[in-house]
Structure 1
Amino acid sequence: MPLLRIEVDCDRATARRVMEMHRADRVHRESRDAATAEAWRRGWTPAGDPQFIGVTNGEPVRLLYDVEVYSETAR
């Protein structure tokens, strides 16, 4: 199944908190749900929960998620 890279906008404080939660094997529900919603918005059906990849260094800060999607639902 293909992976779709999703970037979720956030502020630096949230990015730091999400990174700390990831290191503690916890999930930031709001950003994960935002990544799932973005996959749906782009016309793909998610095959599972998004996987947190990391944080960008630029401005604005973005959280990176990989979402596995079904290839049969591609546009």
Structure 2
Amino acid sequence: MKKLISTFILFITFYSNEFANKMIRVAQEMEYVNDWKDALEHAKDTYVPIGKQSEEITKLLEQSLKFIEDRDLITITEMAKES
């Protein structure tokens, strides 16, 4: 039983450290240096409010279409734009 508990503690310790390292890496990517707690708070505060997701998706779609059309990347038919 002691061996099982020791193994479990090692397992938890390893994955806790792995999780902490990933949080720091993501914080750095978000330009929060090593402050993963501030990065997490920032991520929690940047959500789209309930009921506004459809509007946000429509806005992103329009921005994407404009980007593609401005650069003449592909031809998008009117039927595709309407659907």
TM-score, normalised by the number of residues in structure 1:
0.28
* Bigger share in strand: 1
Larger Rg: 2
Larger relative CO (CA 8 A, sep 6+): 1 or 2? 1
TM-score, normalised by the number of residues in structure 2:
0.25
